[in-house]
Amino acid sequence: MSSAVIARSRLSAAVATDRATQAALAVARRAEVKARAHEVTRPSRARKLARDWGSGNTIVGMDARQLRDQARHLERDLDLADNALNILVQNTVGSGIDVLAAPRLPGEPINRDLALQLDDLWDAWWDAPEVTGMHDYGACQQLLARTWFRDGESYYQDLIGPVPFLQHGSVVPYSIEMIEPDLIPLDMTDPGRNILQGVERNAWGRPVAFHVYKTHPGDRMGWSQETKRVSADILHGIHNIKRLHQVRGLSVFASSMSRFEDVKDYEESERIAAKVAASMCAFIKKGNPERYGANAGSSLTGEMIVPDGGLDRDLRFTPGIVFDDLLEGEDIGMIASNRPNPNAAAWRKEQLRAAAGGIGVSYSSLSLDYDGSYSAQRQELVEKWIAYQMLSERFIAMGVRKQRVRFVEAAVLAGRVRLPRGWELRHLAASTYVRPVMPWIDPLKEAYARGEAEDRGWTSPQANTLQYGNNPNEVAMQTRDWNAQREAVLPAPASAPAGPAAAAAAAIRASLTASMLRD
């Protein structure tokens, strides 16, 4: 027997054995699938199992750039998406998260002299905190937060002390440089240097440096792929992260983007259909075919023969028109329209309700539909305000608090503030952060509830003042100044017994309490 025949027989046997093995494995896998406890994990013709795309970093590497580009497209061309970003920004940072100095040692009262010095320096720095000089600190927070939500991440760099060609905006030598995520390349990965998506990490996964393009990749002039290494001690990121070990962020529109696109396409179609329907259309049912040319019976190009010898007629629509010049056998027909679609509003409402949940905003704010009772509006506001507070706290932790510490450090190094003996920088940088306040639906009930909590000792006057978005120190000084002006101008009021007045106030308060409980 030749060697070729022997090889062919061996190959046939190996192929048969391999096919038998694969068939046995397939049977085992099918048996394993059928044995699963949860029905949703059993694939069928109508239900396919979701695929595992890998780690959070793998997903970001595949989709982050496309999601970012699509989110920017929605912001430009869809008012609903732009409104969603406006809602997130105004409820997370508002006009700017203010910082009130509260320097103190643990368990000690606030050092008011140091607080006044820091507040004065902070107010001056607020007007020009960043390198371009184009934005105040409130606008910087809004831009950073908007980029964070839309693109999934935003970055800023600390610049302290003398920096070549940089003039700081105040006497405190500290400025920030805001950086778009495009400047940190997603496709820059080097396992040898432990660089993943432009972020250099240590063995524990902590970022130690960022590799940043020297010019924006979207600029038409002078862009190159040259990067510089910037330490993570001075370059910080604010990320929208939903997976452990994830390095880069994803847009808040990621889960709702398809729904927004559907709403955009549907609304555009409905607008076009309504616009067409608004233009009344009519047609003329032709009459006797003998009134056309000799070849009109077999051709659509025959010319109409009219009594006066003309070849065309002009029938114009005017209010109260009467068609008195129709030819023999002709009739006017109208093209009916079923627009506007009565179901369009309901469909749009449900789509926006679902999209609002995916983005993290309230449906009423997204759709500008405020129908509903006080209780329903209040419940929606309370539930969503917790989500806004979570975002605000995250923004403070990743941005505002770090910038505040750097500011205080720069003020101490520049000799603008003296660090007392025995104090640490964290004691001097202790602050109160004034977040956006929850709007009121019924001001009387809200104000009464807060006043009642203050009278019972459940909260302090300072905390209530902060809930209004005001500085307690400023309120106290303004109140003292106003009282001094009134005493200088108005006569002293006549003394009145405290007992009846207090009793009357208590009776009014009890009546209001009973009324609110009934409501």
Task: Please count the CA atoms within 13 angstroms of the CA of 229 that sit on its side-chain side.
Answer: 8
At residue 185, the pLDDT reads 93
Q: For residue 110, tell me if it sits in a domain.
A: yes
Contact status, residue 403 vs residue 423, Cβ threshold 8 Å = no
At residue 419, the pLDDT reads 92
Q: For residue 51, tell me if it sits in a domain.
A: no
Average pLDDT in the 103-132 region?
93
Q: For residue 80, tell me if it sits in a domain.
A: yes
Judged by DSSP in three states, 395 sits in helix
Q: Which amino acid is at 318?
A: T
CB atoms within 10 A of CB 68: 24
Q: For residue 288, tell me if it sits in a domain.
A: no
181, 139: one domain: yes
- Quote the pTM value: 0.75
387, 474: one domain: no
224, 82: one domain: yes
Contact status, residue 313 vs residue 270, Cβ threshold 8 Å = no
DSSP alpha helix (H) spans, 362-471: 363-367, 374-395, 401-413, 425-428, 443-455, 461-467
Min mean pLDDT across 27-41, 48-62, 121-135 is at 27-41
Q: How many domains does the chain have?
A: 3
Contact status, residue 104 vs residue 427, Cβ threshold 8 Å = yes
More confident residue, 50 or 298: 50
137, 34: one domain: no
User: Cα torsion for 455, 457, 462, 468, to the nearest 10°?
Assistant: -60
At residue 160, the pLDDT reads 95
448, 411: one domain: no
Contact status, residue 174 vs residue 160, Cβ threshold 8 Å = yes
At residue 175, the pLDDT reads 96
300 pLDDT band (50/70/90 cuts)?
A: very low
Judged by DSSP in three states, 239 sits in strand
394, 513: one domain: no
At residue 144, the pLDDT reads 96
Query: How far is Cα 267 from Cα 245, in angstroms, rounded to an integer?
Result: 40
At residue 51, the pLDDT reads 76
429, 450: one domain: no
Average pLDDT in the 440-460 region?
77
Report pLDDT digits (tens) over 211-259. 999 888 888 776 778 899 999 999 999 999 999 999 999 999 998 999 9
Q: Which residue has the tokens 């009324």?
A: 515
Which residues have a Cβ under 8 Å from the Cβ of 181 and sit 6 or more positions away? 68, 147, 151, 152, 153, 154, 155, 248, 249
Q: For residue 128, tell me if it sits in a domain.
A: yes
518 pLDDT band (50/70/90 cuts)?
A: low
Q: For residue 53, tell me if it sits in a domain.
A: no
Q: For residue 217, tell me if it sits in a domain.
A: yes
Report pLDDT digits (tens) over 249-278. 999 999 899 999 988 888 888 888 877 777
Residues spanned by the domain of 13: 8-41
111, 171: one domain: yes
Report pLDDT digits (tens) over 125-167. 999 999 999 999 999 999 999 999 999 999 999 999 999 999 9
Token pair listed for 114: 């140091």
94, 229: one domain: yes
104, 170: one domain: yes
177, 155: one domain: yes
Contact status, residue 251 vs residue 66, Cβ threshold 8 Å = no
Q: For residue 321, tell me if it sits in a domain.
A: no
At residue 286, the pLDDT reads 73
Listed residues 435, 453, 477: the one ending a domain: 435
71, 109: one domain: yes
Listed residues 435, 452, 469: the one ending a domain: 435
